[in-house]
Chain A
Amino acid sequence: MACSLEHAKEFNPLKSRIRVVRKKLQGVFVPVHCLQCTSMPCAKVCPVEAIYRDENTWAVLIDYDKCIGCGECARACPFGAITYDPDTKQVIKCDLCGGNPKCVEYCIDKAIQFLPFEDVERNKRFVHVDKVARAYLTDKEWAEGMI
């Protein structure tokens, strides 16, 4: 909701650049969005070279003056993160909102976070250590140190 409102000024999940895939009864809920890949397969197949990297935000962006709406980029994306806007007749994808992603701002549980790559790995190590340490600490040590 935050995404479509920010970019298209209206609410429509089809215009959101982040789409959640829900497989409810399996307990699987995964947001899918552009991962700003290093090799940019979308840019490679674009016939009019409308896709480029923003050096400031590192986001992979679409130049809407050039985009012809052919959809080749959507077909090249391994994640299905590029979709087609039927009103503008061009493609849409996550542009990191210029460096301050709206979706991150509104996710109350911090399920989506905007972090440097190194932090993601480090966070995982900490979570793992938490689990191991739990077994060794007393209740008080646990309450004092780990929350």
Chain B
Amino acid sequence: MGGGDDLRHAVPENILRVDLTRKKVVKQSLPDELARNYLGGRGANAKILWDELKAGVDPLSPDNILVFGIGPANGTLAPASGRYNVSAKSPLTGFFGDANSGGHWAAELKYAGYGNLVFYGRADKPVYLWIDDDDVELRDATRLWGKDTWETEDTITEELGDPEIKVACIGPAGENLVRCACVINEKTRAAGRTGMGAVMGSKNLKAIAVRGTKSVKVADPEGLFEFRKEANALISTDLFYELYAKYGTPGLMTIYNEFGAQTHYNSKEGYAKKAEDNLYGEVYVERVVKHVSACFSCPLHCSAVYAVDSGPYACVGESCEYENLTAYGSRCGNYNLESVVYASTLADKLGMDTISSGATIGFAMECWEKGLLDEKSTEGLILEWGNAEAIIEALRRMAYRKGKFGNLLAEGTKRMSEKIPGSEKFAIHIKGLDTPAVDPRGMMAYGGLGYAVASRGGDHLRALAALGYSLPGKAKELFGSEEAADRFSIKYAAPVVKFHEEMRAIADSLDICKYITRTALLLPEIMAKLINVLTGWGIDRAGVLRIGERIVNIERAFNVREGLTRKDDTQPERFLKEPLKSGPSAGHVVNLKPMLDDYYRLRGWDLETGYPTRGKLEELGLSDVADELKRIGRLAE
């Protein structure tokens, strides 16, 4: 405990810089400006990567930089304050890679006193980082290498003698540099997308174990008590409260299938009656859920401990999400719930992103259907729609890069489609990142525009444009018309997505969970209140939006520096050209051009290239970023 922590409320004390090549650990005080301008979490990670990472490096080389980040809200009574972000250049997309995870690890890191962990280089032998308040040590992980994420955590907590130690680690997938490999903490929480596990594996970093016993002070404790009371009331009366609190995200399978905007058969269909009795949230809860569970300080408790007691898919686990039910379920034409749940636990143990791994398998299934793959080329895997055994075997081969086909799967959908002529048409990814469960042809702002412009690729969480249909009255206030709440509206997609991207960036940087901000908590005035009771900065609504905008722009600059242009902000051909055939959203395609033009105009980015303009960057205090982009000829004037 230093003398400084009384003056700076809620903001984490230190940054830890770990040079894995030289095995050196340096602790530095976290700069005030980093917190003030970027809050922390994802924002701070983005700033650090912009400042320190050279453009054009191979993401799996020692030159990549891996950053973990948390923010002012973690470890406090702020609702759902148990999230952290992991960022680096992505081996899957080649652009800004970033993943977010829940549980309790983030709170533990906050109690240990660190805001960011920055990893450079590569260790010559497998290591893991052990953070025990001020004592930080790189320990040998040779005997952990090869273990799955569950065994790794158990071995570490036993070795260090404390079951309360929180562990974030990679499994065999990360070790084998599978491009969609992820980071798993506490066995079942995943920082899933963009292959951050592979970056960690490429650095020979097996795990980060944390124990923190220090305290966190906030500027206005009474104010925070009051805020939490109000937040609890807003959350418990929200439209989605019952969905999350009782069914968890699997309740979304019900919603989106009823909307007709659900991914079935690699996005060939948007609606399937079969999903009703097999994959809906109601069925999930009835058949496999044992007990509801929650992340740190969360009143929504959207997670659940599940178990299949007997049979070929016997397993136990936590956090089988809507995306899992889609990835291993509807996307692959598999409506056997128990097999999907088994595959989820397997993915957690192996350390692979459910969305991307499921999407790659679904893609392979469509290749099989169209005769582009056969039993010889798949080395024995019968990739027929709905073949659960094949899905499970495919996951194992992917994690270990087993055989030529397993190796091909491990490279991800985009690279795989480049090797299978004729398959690019139905490789459903944007910038290399597989698109998530909701079919964008049924949700224009959320998916049609949101996926296309997300900084990490085909992703629903950068925008998660939900306020529109949660609070239609607010839609008029914020965007000028109730039409903004219409999921088919093209006209209002751009302002809706812009607003949501900024507020999601704020949530990811405070590091609170975006699900509690599906309600009125999403509003900038309410986030300003939270930031003020935590830090005492006296920020206002405009200030909050400006920080959000700054984070979006710095991620954009990072991507532009790595070669992104307008043509990357696109949709797979299927979504642009093939209308949905059946269900409540039948007949729709994504009409991207007008939405994208509107979006670039609102963002202050060049319509032709997609580059940020100097004017916009300077407005956000990023003139040095503008200079850097100018230097490489990628600034719009």
A11 near B290 with CB under 8 A, answer: no
Using CB atoms, name the residue of chain A closest to B301: A109
Which of the listed residues A2, A5, A8 has the most CB atoms from chain B within 10 Å of its own CB? A5
The 0/1 profile, CB within 8 Å of B marked 1, for residues 1-25 of chain A is: 1101100111111110000000011
Task: Specify the chain B residue showing the minimal Cβ separation from A5.
Answer: B221
Number of A-B residue pairs having CB atoms within 8 Å of each other in the complex: 65
Q: Which 3 A-B pairs have the closest CB atoms?
A: A27-B291, A12-B215, A10-B215
Once the chains bind, are A27 and B305 in contact (CB under 8 Å)? Answer: yes
Binary A-proximity of B288-318 (CB < 8 A = 1, otherwise 0): 0011010001010100010000000000111
Closest B residue to A8 by beta carbon equals B215
Kindly state the interface size class of chain B when it binds its partner.
Answer: 20 to 34
17 contacts between A and B (CB under 8 A): A4-B215, A5-B77, A5-B224, A5-B225, A8-B215, A9-B217, A9-B221, A10-B217, A12-B213, A15-B215, A24-B186, A24-B187, A27-B291, A28-B291, A86-B213, A109-B245, A109-B299
Give CA–CA (A105, B299) in the complex, Å: 12
* A136 in contact (CB, < 8 A): no
Chain B residues contacting A5 (CB-CB under 8 Å) are: 77, 221, 224-225
Contacts of A24 in B (CB 8 A): 186-188, 293, 305, 318
Q: Looking at the complex, which of B48-56, B229-237, B427-435, B578-586 is the stretch in contact with chain A?
A: B229-237
Add 5 more A-B contacts to A1-B76, A2-B77 (CB < 8 A): A2-B228, A5-B225, A106-B228, A106-B232, A109-B301
Contact (Cβ within 8 A) A25 B316 = yes
Contact with B along A65-109 (1 / 0, CB 8 A): 000000000000000000000100000000000000000011011
**Considering only CB atoms, which chain B residue lies closest to A4 in the complex?**
B215
B111 CB contacts on chain A under 8 angstroms: 12-13
Q: Does B218 contact A (CB under 8 A)?
A: yes
Query: A108 to chain B: which residues have CB within 8 Å?
Result: 232, 235-236, 299
What count of chain A residues pass the 8 Å CB interface test? Answer: 23
| A29 at interface by CB-CB < 8 Å | yes
Which residue of chain A lies nearest to B150 when distances are taken between CB atoms in the complex?
A: A25
Q: Provide the bound-state CA to CA distance between A25 and B163, in Å.
A: 14
Is B216 positioned at the interface, with any CB of A under 8 Å from its CB?
yes
- How distant is B74 from chain A, measured CB to nearest CB, in Å? 10
Residues of A within 8 A of B (CB): 1-2, 4-5, 8-15, 24-29, 86, 105-106, 108-109
Please name the residue on chain A nearest to B296 by beta carbon: A1
**Interface residue B27 (Cβ < 8 Å from any Cβ of A):** no
What CA separation (Å) do A74 and B563 show in the bound complex?
Answer: 62
Q: In the complex where A25-B317, A25-B318, A109-B301 touch, is A11 in contact with B77 (Cβ < 8 A)?
A: yes
| Given A2-B77, A5-B221, A108-B299, A11-B216 contact (CB < 8 Å) | yes
Task: State which of B186, B225, B235 has its C-beta within 8 Å of the C-beta of A2.
Answer: B225
B541 at the interface (CB under 8 A from A): no
Residues of B within 8 Å of A109, CB to CB, are: 245, 299, 301
- State A83–B236 Cα separation when bound (angstroms): 33
Q: Is the CB of B305 within 8 A of A1?
A: no
Q: Give CA–CA (A15, B229) in the complex, Å.
A: 21
With a CB–CB cut-off of 8 A, which chain A residues contact B229? 105-106
CB-CB < 8 A to A26: which residues of B?
305
Q: List B154-208 residues whose CB lies under 8 Å from chain A.
A: 186-188
- A contact residues around B318 at 8 Å (CB): 24-25
